Amino acid sequence: MSDAMEALYAERLERYVTALRNGKPDRVPVRPLAAEFVAAYGGYTCQEITQDYNKAFDAVCKCAKEFQWDACVGNMVYVWTALTQAMGMKYYASPGVEISADTAFQYLEPPEDAAYMAPEEYDALIEDPTAFLFNNWLPKVSSDIGPPGEANTFRHNMALVKGGMAMLQYFGALGQQNARLRQECGTPPAIGGMLKAPMDIIADKLRGYMGLTEDLLTIPDQVKAACEALAPHLTHVAVALSGADPERNVPIAFWMHRGGVPFVKQEHFDTIYWPTLKKVIEGIWSHGHQTLFYAEGDWTAHLEAFAELPEKSIVFHLDRSDPVETQRVLGKKFCITGGVPNALLAYGSADEVRAKCKELIDLCAPDGGYCMDASAIMQNDARPENVRAMTDFTVEYGKY
């Protein structure tokens, strides 16, 4: 790596980490979580970057070089569909296979009567979550993997071997991608991994959202016990991710979606979602890692709860939460990121984007502690000229 590139990397990392710790860097960092946008910008289809991660890596590097972002994710299109296909996973629609080649991969909510976990399976999950995943869950989400006691098949064996080998290969390649971004682009990683809150896992991958909401009404104690059983495993996985960021510079992202308004009642947030997530966050923080609350949707009703966390332990990402309230309640304790509506990036003008960026910087970044980004991951509808406007305006106007 050239000395100039290493110096650029160090300068950006300092800027980004200072803001993440709610400090005042030399200017507001630009840290877009760019997903399928990199495909559209780089001349690839969604299928190409989702199915072949090397194409995704190339597309990310092109964006990092040409936009000169302060930090980015090595591959924000995190689901490598060749892996999920190797394992026969049923819950994704892959671009170019089940859906058009230019549509981002889709998560398929299971029918209520065919959820990937039945209500009567809560006890097994609570008793031994890891064994449950191998013995109960994988056989339901995979078309190839069979449950214990059932006749073994060649496809069963292949799904496990290929899935394990593919995951090892992919995670190794992600490490190399971060090194490439550093050497070729001088760009630090934006996050150190991606996880979910316990109740979001139950909604996303086990019971489905409809199943979860029914369980919250009929068997809330079991939902809570399941979240408590999942929590220590999430802390363990998060801390294990520190191998990718031994200096604990960047946060571990938590995708938060089903615990906010209007998906569950305040009572269920207060008694299940938040206490079980809070324990995980505190556990991660005790190991020195920040968490990025990637708070999809509107979390304004829950800001006071988040303010209970130790200072600097989280970074709060603005999607549809009220920016004024977010800054008032959280701004003194935590860094805030994001807030540029994706619809504006897709359908607005460059002037409108610049006006929104000014509003966010004036509100959230008077004394540092803010990173510019879209409200949600940028997909292939974001217009390059608007992403350019967001980037260039922040570099100019965001100087301290």
Partner 1 sequence: MHEQPEAAPRANPGRAPGVCVPWEEKRAEFPKIMGDEAIVQRTWEENDQLAYMFVWHCLLSF
Query: Which residues form the interface with partner 1 (CB under 8 A)?
Result: 78-80, 83-84, 87, 89, 126-131, 133-134, 137-138, 163-164, 167-168, 194-196, 201, 205, 224-225, 228-229, 231-237, 240, 266-267, 270-271, 274-276, 278-279, 304-305
Distances in Å between the alpha carbon of 95 and those of 51, 56, 271, 332? 8, 14, 38, 42
Report whether 294 contacts 317 (CB < 8 A). Answer: yes
Q: 147 CB contacts (<8 Å, ≥6 apart)?
A: 135, 136, 139
To the nearest whole angstrom, how small is the minimum distance from the Cβ of residue 93 to partner 1?
A: 14
To the nearest whole angstrom, how small is the minimum distance from the Cβ of residue 267 to partner 1?
A: 6
To the nearest whole angstrom, how small is the minimum distance from the Cβ of residue 362 to partner 1?
A: 30
CB nearer to partner 1: give 99 or 126. Answer: 126
CB nearer to partner 1: give 182 or 302. Answer: 302
CB nearer to partner 1: give 101 or 126. Answer: 126
To the nearest whole angstrom, how small is the minimum distance from the Cβ of residue 164 to partner 1?
A: 5
Give dist(CA 173, CA 190) in Å, integer: 17
Radius of gyration of the chain (CA): 21
Give dist(CA 262, CA 248) in Å, integer: 34
Report whether 234 contacts 143 (CB < 8 A). Answer: no
To the nearest whole angstrom, how small is the minimum distance from the Cβ of residue 67 to partner 1?
A: 26
Place of tokens 């090892």: 168
Q: Is 336 helix (H, G, I), strand (E, B) or coil?
A: strand
CB nearer to partner 1: give 31 or 224. Answer: 224
To the nearest whole angstrom, how small is the minimum distance from the Cβ of residue 224 to partner 1?
A: 8
Could you tell me the end-to-end alpha-carbon distance of the chain, in angstroms, rounded to an integer? Answer: 30
Q: Under the phi-then-psi rule, with left for phi > 0, alpha for psi from -120 to 50, and beta for the rest, what region is 68?
A: left
